[in-house]
Amino acid sequence: MITTDLEGIVEDAASHLYVWALKDIPQDLRDALADAAERETSVSGRRVLSTILKNVQVADDQKNLVCQDTGIAVYTCRVGEHFPLHPARIYAALKAGTERATVEHPLRSNAVHTITRENTGPNTGHRLPIVHWEFVPSWDGLDVKCIPKGSGSENMSFLKMCVPADGVKGIKQFVLESIVDAGGKPCPPGIVGVGIGGSADYAMYLAKEAIARPVGTKNPDPVVAQLEEELYELLNDTGIGPMGLGGDVTVLQVHVEHADTHMTLNPVAVNYQCWAARRATAHVGPEGEVEYDREF
Amino acid sequence: MSSKRLTFPTTEEEIRTLRAGDEVVVDGHIIGIRDRTHIRIFDQGVEPPMDLDGAFLLHTAPGVRKVGPGKYEKVCIGTTTSARMVRFTAGLGERYGVRAICGKGGLPDEAIEPMRKHGMVYFAIVGGAAALETTQIEEIEEVAWEELMPECLWKFRVKDFGPLIVGIDSHGNSVFHDVQERAKQKLEEIYARL
């Protein structure tokens, strides 16, 4: 009997996704950047956006990375209950794939021990890569999305435990204040991920889920989708502009993810994703068939 | 917008001609430096083994490929967020004669006075545009402190490096300060109508 080496297939997929995400940014993002370049009216903002578009082209032409920051490897996995590889083995495969991509390309190794600051080697280490898990009933597939997350944008993460009396106004004020404070540091214009509800840790987890959505997608809950729209308008009214040099386009999109929460909680988390919002996905079937996808 | 062209290392006189908002393109030699490199110089008191007089410092930890002892080829070289390293600004100007610091995202207001006093500028580069930046770096000529890889002290030879925008000049002006001030006023207006 021939058994499929599913662990090896997931490892190959992870290795491919990491490098692919770093080199070839998705079409939805390319379109959003081109739209931004059309909309922007400030001199320096236009210069920044035209340089960004030129850079994306140079990365394509030279098959180079869009940005030197290969990030920390973050994956989101949707695992079907009948997918025949246990998540413990999926994790091992993602780790091995990350290491292989780092060594073979080679990619800059960013991972360090958080106290000693010694480099751990191939972009993995204790609890690295980071994996978000979702388990799907009555399904036999696996979706793996790789989101290499740069530090410039990740350093611009903010959490506030608003109180219920702060209401939606409090949420909006905190997001506005966070993005103005962040200024040019997270490489605007990017995607603002907002996580609301749940608990402190879960709100930030949701904010990270939010930045990984394709540009142009909306939250399926119309109340939340309206908040996305309102925040988008308000943030682009702040004048922070491309790379914080002033201008009309401060953010490409705002994505909000929410969870129900305790009656006395109103947590708000902001996670920023830079203009080079790297993202690449593989769908793996139970027989080891792999489809690569950029619309996910 | 027309660009000014500067060759580094340069002089205080040249730097004083620049004004916040000017666009600049750079040729010559630039030095790559990052968090751990600054910490070694200033917090651990180790003298840098490269001459920083008149220098252009780039906030970077390059992606490289080792090709021999002390010899590296570029893979992907881009620029990191500058604000983390702001507390070293005065020391770089006063002790070592650094003339330009280049990075992305700007330096906070505490850099304005040392830059005015010591005749320095901050150049804002387009963050994330590393594929393009890599084409403007002709060669990695020297590396020191390899044990800090990739946060070593690097010497690059560059041509047409940019576009750079003067974010802070040597006359007390900062584009980033002005953008923040306007944004804070704007927030007051926005909060009033929420």
pLDDT, tens digit, 9 for 90 and up, residues A185-201: 999 999 999 999 999 99
- The H or E element containing residue A295 is none
pLDDT band at A127 (very low <50, low <70, confident <90, very high): very high
CB atoms within 10 A of CB A67: 29
Phi, psi of A253 (to 5 degrees): -165, 150
So where are chain A's domains? Answer: 6-22+66-150+278-293, 152-273
| Contact check, Cβ <8 Å, B180/A274 | no
Best probe of the A interface among B179, B187, B188, B189, by most A CBs < 10 A, is B179
Residues 41-100 (A) with a CB less than 8 A from some CB of B: 43-44, 47-48, 51-52, 54-56, 58-59, 62, 64-70
Residue B115 in this model has a pLDDT that exceeds 80: yes
Best probe of the B interface among A243, A248, A274, by most B CBs < 10 A, is A243
Looking at residue B112, what is its pLDDT?
A: 98
A144, A10 Cβ separation under 8 angstroms: yes
- The predicted pLDDT at position A296 comes to 82
Cβ of B149 and A52 within 8 Å? no
- Cβ neighbours for B192, distance < 8 A, ≥ 6 positions apart: none
Evaluate whether A65 touches B76 at the Cβ level (below 8 Å).
yes
Over residues B15-26, mean pLDDT: 98
CATH of span A6-22+66-150+278-293: 3.30.1330
Residue B41 burial (C-beta neighbours within 10 Å; 0-12, 13-18, 19+): buried
A209: left (phi over 0), alpha (psi -120 to 50) or beta: alpha
What is the pLDDT confidence band of residue B57, given thresholds at 50, 70 and 90? very high
Q: By the 8 A CB rule, do A203 and A211 touch?
A: no
Mean pLDDT in residue range A81-105? 97
Handedness of CA A133, A134, A138, A142 (dihedral sign): negative
3-class DSSP state of A157: strand
Q: Where are the beta strands (DSSP E) in chain B?
A: 3-8, 23-33, 56-59, 63-68, 71-76, 100-103, 121-124, 137-144, 153-168
A278 interfaces chain B, CB cutoff of 8 Å: no
CB contact A269 to B (< 8 Å): no
pLDDT digits (tens, 9 = 90+) for B102-112: 999 999 999 99
The reply to whether B124 touches chain A by the CB within 8 Å rule is: yes
The model's pLDDT over A19-65, given as tens digits with 9 standing for 90+, comes to 999 999 999 999 999 999 999 999 999 999 999 999 999 999 999 99
Mean confidence (pLDDT) of chain A: 96
pLDDT at A46: 97
The first and second tokens of residue B119, run together, are 């005749």
Domains of chain B, CATH where assigned: 3-193 (3.20.130.10)
Residue A3 has pLDDT above 80, yes or no: no
Measure CB to CB from residue B130 to each of A44, A66, A117 and give the nearest one: A66
Using a CB-CB cut-off of 8 Å, the residues of chain A touching B124 are 184, 243-245
Instruction: Inform me whether the pLDDT recorded for A218 exceeds 60.
Output: yes
Pairing state between β A142-149 and A72-80: antiparallel
For chain B, percent of residues with pLDDT exceeding 70:
99
Q: What letters, b where the CB count within 10 A reaches 16 and e where it falls short, cover A101-140?
A: bbeebebbbbbbeeeeeebeebbbbeebbebbeeeeeeee
Arithmetic mean of pLDDT, B113-129 = 98
pLDDT 10s digits, A61-80: 999 999 999 999 999 999 99
CA distance linking residue A226 with residue A171, whole number of Å: 13
Burial of B185 (0-12, 13-18, 19+ CB in 10 A): exposed
Distance CA A274, CA B179 (A): 19
pLDDT band at A4 (very low <50, low <70, confident <90, very high): confident
Confidence band of B158 (pLDDT split at 50, 70, 90): very high
Pairwise CA distance, residues A113 & A277, whole Å = 25
The partner residues of B65 in beta bridges, in order of sequence, read B73
Residue B118: the pLDDT is: 98
Q: Does B176 touch chain A (CB under 8 A)?
A: yes
As a whole number, the mean pLDDT across chain B is 97
In DSSP terms, B30 is beta-bridged to B156
Q: Which of A270, A187, A147 is nearest to B127 (CA)?
A: A187
- The pLDDT, as a whole number, for residue A2 is 55
- The pairing of beta strand B63-68 with beta strand B71-76: antiparallel
Within 10 angstroms of residue B44's Cβ, the number of other Cβ atoms is 8
CA distances from A113 to A116, A117, A255 (A): 6, 5, 32
What does residue B14 show for φ and ψ, rounded to 5 degrees?
A: -60, -45
Q: Which residues of A touch B190 (CB under 8 A)?
A: 176, 234, 237-238
According to the model, what pLDDT value does residue A294 have?
Answer: 77
Q: Hey, is the C-beta of B37 within 8 angstroms of any chain A C-beta?
A: no
Asked if residue A110 lies in contact with residue A151, where contact means CB atoms within 8 angstroms, the answer is yes
Average pLDDT over residues A230-257: 98
Residues of B in contact with A65 (CB under 8 A): 63, 75-76, 130-131
Catalytic residues of B: 38
d(CA B160, CA A57): 18
Tens digit of each residue's pLDDT (9 = 90 or more) over A138-155? 999 999 999 999 999 999
Q: What is the spatial distance between Cα A259 and Cα B162, in angstroms, rounded to a whole number?
A: 44
pLDDT in the model for residue A295: 78
Determine contact, residues A33/A52, Cβ cutoff 8 Å. Answer: yes
Q: What is the pairing mode between strands B23-33 and B56-59?
A: parallel
Is 90 exceeded by the pLDDT of residue A1? no
Q: How far is B33 from chain A (nearest CA, A)?
A: 15
